[in-house]
């Protein structure tokens, strides 16, 4: 908790907190739509379902030594960061199913780990061999 070392930054912390809270309704709305796609689309295409509980864990609010706001912040981060990992895995499985071709190698682009098993970019022979 680096924020604990910067107690004099009260105004920046308040502004950051408000911005984070403004994101919450959008994250929840995105969660609803992603879950509808995930549960229906994956079943229709026989893509293995992602286990939500493997990514989203909200448990730090049970720590007795945290303040009310600390518990609230930990619950928010457990949900938001867990959801980010969850949605990333759903997107990765979708990409594997629909388009398993690597991107063109460019400096600064961080290739996701699941791309390692994809066909090389612009390898027409490998594409035709696999999908013809």
Virtual torsion, Cα 98, 100, 101, 105, nearest 10 deg: 120
31-41 pLDDT per residue, tens: 999 999 999 99
User: CA-based Rg of the chain, rounded to a whole angstrom?
Assistant: 20
Estimate to the nearest angstrom the gap between the alpha carbon of 72 and the chain centroid: 20
pLDDT at position 49, please?
98
Taking the C-alpha atoms of residue 54 and residue 82, their distance in angstroms, rounded to an integer, is 9
* % of the chain surpassing 70 pLDDT: 94
- Higher per-residue pLDDT: 10 or 30: 30
Q: What is the mean pLDDT of the chain?
A: 92
pLDDT at position 4, please?
57
pLDDT at 89 over 90: yes
């Amino acid at each position: 908790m680096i924020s604990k070392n910067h107690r004099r930054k009260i105004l920046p912390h308040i502004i950051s907190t408000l911005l984070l809270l403004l994101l919450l309704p959008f994250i929840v709305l995105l969660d609803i739509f992603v879950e509808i796609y995930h549960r229906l689309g994956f079943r229709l295409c026989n893509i293995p379902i992602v286990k939500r509980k493997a990514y989203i864990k909200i448990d730090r609010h049970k720590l007795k030594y945290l303040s009310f706001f600390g518990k609230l912040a930990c619950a928010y981060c457990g949900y938001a960061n867990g959801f980010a990992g969850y949605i990333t895995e759903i997107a990765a499985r979708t990409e594997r199913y629909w388009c398993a071709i690597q991107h063109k190698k460019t400096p600064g682009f961080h290739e996701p780990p699941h791309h390692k098993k994809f066909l090389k970019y612009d390898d027409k022979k490998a594409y035709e061999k696999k999908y013809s």
